[in-house]
Amino acid sequence: MGLVKSEIFTAQQNSLANFAKAFGHPARVAILQHLFKINSCICGDLVNEIGLAQPTISQHLKELKNIGLIKGNIEGTSVCYCIDLKNWNTMKKNFGVFLDQDLNLNDSCC
Protein backbone atom coordinates (compact mmCIF):
# COMPACT_ATOMS: atom_id res chain seq x y z
CA MET A 1 0.00 0.00 0.00
CA GLY A 2 1.32 3.44 -0.93
CA LEU A 3 2.30 6.12 1.53
CA VAL A 4 -0.19 8.93 2.02
CA LYS A 5 1.64 12.05 0.86
CA SER A 6 0.75 14.06 3.96
CA GLU A 7 2.54 11.46 6.09
CA ILE A 8 5.94 12.46 4.72
CA PHE A 9 5.56 15.98 6.15
CA THR A 10 5.58 17.19 9.74
CA ALA A 11 2.41 17.89 11.66
CA GLN A 12 3.24 21.60 11.54
CA GLN A 13 3.72 21.54 7.76
CA ASN A 14 0.39 19.76 7.29
CA SER A 15 -1.31 22.17 9.67
CA LEU A 16 0.04 25.24 7.86
CA ALA A 17 -1.02 23.80 4.50
CA ASN A 18 -4.53 23.08 5.75
CA PHE A 19 -4.94 26.55 7.21
CA ALA A 20 -3.53 28.10 4.02
CA LYS A 21 -6.23 26.26 2.08
CA ALA A 22 -8.78 28.51 3.79
CA PHE A 23 -7.22 31.53 2.09
CA GLY A 24 -7.04 29.83 -1.30
CA HIS A 25 -10.44 31.14 -2.36
CA PRO A 26 -11.66 34.73 -2.05
CA ALA A 27 -15.13 33.57 -0.97
CA ARG A 28 -13.62 31.92 2.11
CA VAL A 29 -11.68 35.08 2.91
CA ALA A 30 -14.91 37.08 2.56
CA ILE A 31 -16.78 34.63 4.80
CA LEU A 32 -14.11 34.87 7.49
CA GLN A 33 -14.09 38.67 7.29
CA HIS A 34 -17.88 38.78 7.60
CA LEU A 35 -17.86 36.40 10.57
CA PHE A 36 -15.29 38.58 12.34
CA LYS A 37 -17.34 41.68 11.60
CA ILE A 38 -20.59 40.36 13.09
CA ASN A 39 -19.20 37.66 15.44
CA SER A 40 -21.79 35.07 14.32
CA CYS A 41 -23.89 34.42 11.27
CA ILE A 42 -26.62 32.32 9.73
CA CYS A 43 -25.90 30.87 6.29
CA GLY A 44 -28.68 32.89 4.62
CA ASP A 45 -27.04 36.10 5.79
CA LEU A 46 -23.84 35.08 4.05
CA VAL A 47 -25.70 34.48 0.78
CA ASN A 48 -26.96 38.07 0.88
CA GLU A 49 -23.63 39.51 2.04
CA ILE A 50 -21.31 37.69 -0.37
CA GLY A 51 -23.60 37.25 -3.35
CA LEU A 52 -22.97 33.58 -4.08
CA ALA A 53 -25.58 30.82 -4.24
CA GLN A 54 -26.52 29.09 -0.99
CA PRO A 55 -25.04 25.70 -2.04
CA THR A 56 -21.74 27.43 -2.88
CA ILE A 57 -21.67 29.22 0.47
CA SER A 58 -22.50 25.95 2.22
CA GLN A 59 -19.58 24.21 0.51
CA HIS A 60 -17.16 26.96 1.56
CA LEU A 61 -18.53 26.84 5.12
CA LYS A 62 -18.00 23.07 5.14
CA GLU A 63 -14.37 23.54 4.07
CA LEU A 64 -13.75 26.20 6.72
CA LYS A 65 -15.36 23.99 9.36
CA ASN A 66 -13.32 20.94 8.29
CA ILE A 67 -10.14 23.01 8.51
CA GLY A 68 -11.24 24.10 11.99
CA LEU A 69 -11.37 27.87 11.51
CA ILE A 70 -15.12 28.09 12.13
CA LYS A 71 -17.64 26.20 14.19
CA GLY A 72 -21.40 25.99 13.87
CA ASN A 73 -24.42 25.39 16.03
CA ILE A 74 -27.83 24.27 14.80
CA GLU A 75 -30.58 26.70 15.76
CA GLY A 76 -33.94 25.40 14.55
CA THR A 77 -33.67 25.00 10.80
CA SER A 78 -30.57 27.21 10.48
CA VAL A 79 -26.93 26.83 11.40
CA CYS A 80 -25.18 29.70 13.16
CA TYR A 81 -21.45 29.93 12.41
CA CYS A 82 -18.66 31.75 14.21
CA ILE A 83 -14.87 31.85 14.25
CA ASP A 84 -13.22 29.11 16.30
CA LEU A 85 -10.90 31.42 18.24
CA LYS A 86 -8.75 28.63 19.67
CA ASN A 87 -7.90 27.30 16.20
CA TRP A 88 -7.63 30.83 14.77
CA ASN A 89 -5.04 31.74 17.41
CA THR A 90 -3.17 28.47 16.78
CA MET A 91 -3.07 29.29 13.07
CA LYS A 92 -1.82 32.84 13.75
CA LYS A 93 0.93 31.52 16.02
CA ASN A 94 2.04 28.85 13.52
CA PHE A 95 2.05 31.28 10.60
CA GLY A 96 3.93 33.84 12.71
CA VAL A 97 6.70 31.34 13.38
CA PHE A 98 6.76 30.34 9.70
CA LEU A 99 6.78 33.92 8.39
CA ASP A 100 9.44 35.08 10.86
CA GLN A 101 12.00 32.57 9.54
CA ASP A 102 13.64 35.26 7.43
CA LEU A 103 14.74 37.17 10.52
CA ASN A 104 17.85 34.99 10.74
CA LEU A 105 18.92 35.39 7.10
CA ASN A 106 21.46 37.83 5.79
CA ASP A 107 21.78 39.37 2.34
CA SER A 108 24.76 37.19 1.31
CA CYS A 109 22.52 34.59 -0.34
CA CYS A 110 22.22 34.49 -4.17
pTM as predicted: 0.83
CB atoms within 10 A of CB 103: 6
The CATH code of domain 10-98 reads 1.10.10.10
Q: What is the 3-state secondary structure (H, E, C) of 21-42?
A: HHCCCHHHHHHHHHHHHHCCEE
Q: What does each of the 110 residues of the chain score in pLDDT, given as a tens digit? A: 556 677 899 998 999 999 999 999 999 999 999 999 988 777 778 888 899 999 999 999 999 999 999 998 877 777 889 999 999 999 999 999 999 887 666 766 66
Asked if residue 69 lies in contact with residue 25, where contact means CB atoms within 8 angstroms, the answer is: no
Cα 49 from Cα 91, distance rounded (Å): 25
pLDDT at 110: 60
The region that residue 42 occupies, defined by phi over 0 for left and psi between -120 and 50 for alpha, beta otherwise, is beta
Q: What is the domain partition of the chain in residue ranges?
A: 10-98
